[in-house]
Amino acid sequence: MKNIFKTLYIHGLDSSPKKNKINIIKKNSTDYSFHLDYRNEPNTFKILSNCIKENNINSVIGSSFGGMLGYWLSKKHKIPSLLFNPALHISTDTIYYEVSNNKSPFTMVVIGKNDEIVNPIETKNILKESNDNIKIIECDIGHKIDLITFQTQVDCFYKLLNNTKS
């Protein structure tokens, strides 16, 4: 059966796409992921936005810094997203991204209650100000997303998306 999803996976700051996480995504979707050096690439948002347009990508998964980019990309392109500990507090002064008033059809956010890098309370407060369709899942994890949590939430995300398509 052909995948109906095309997913852009956006890694975190000073990280790269991990093969084991990509393989989890590939069980449900065609995967589009590549390494970006955020600190030295000022056009990151434009590169990712162009990738979405050129490949007809219809969902985004991002983690931390990549979760913040995924949040704004999903709004700009009106596609669903799964975000792990998104660093939503980062301003456009730090890196360029487009703030959009569009609504993402569905945003699922996994927040580590013990995240020592991205403040979970601040993230929830930012998300509550949004009027998007957001599902927040709090887990007893820190900033790093273990494979079991990643697989569980990715499977849940695609199951929810499949239910909305039928």
Q: What is the pLDDT of residues 7-50, one digit of tens each?
A: 999 998 888 888 999 999 999 999 999 899 988 888 999 999 99
What pLDDT score was predicted for residue 1? 43
Q: What is the pLDDT of residues 82-132, one digit of tens each?
A: 999 999 987 666 676 778 888 889 999 999 999 999 999 999 998 988 877
Sorting pLDDT into bands at 50, 70 and 90, what band is 2? low
Find out whether 13 and 24 touch, Cβ atoms under 8 Å.
Answer: no
Beta-carbon contacts of 164 under 8 Å, excluding residues fewer than 6 positions away, are 105, 106
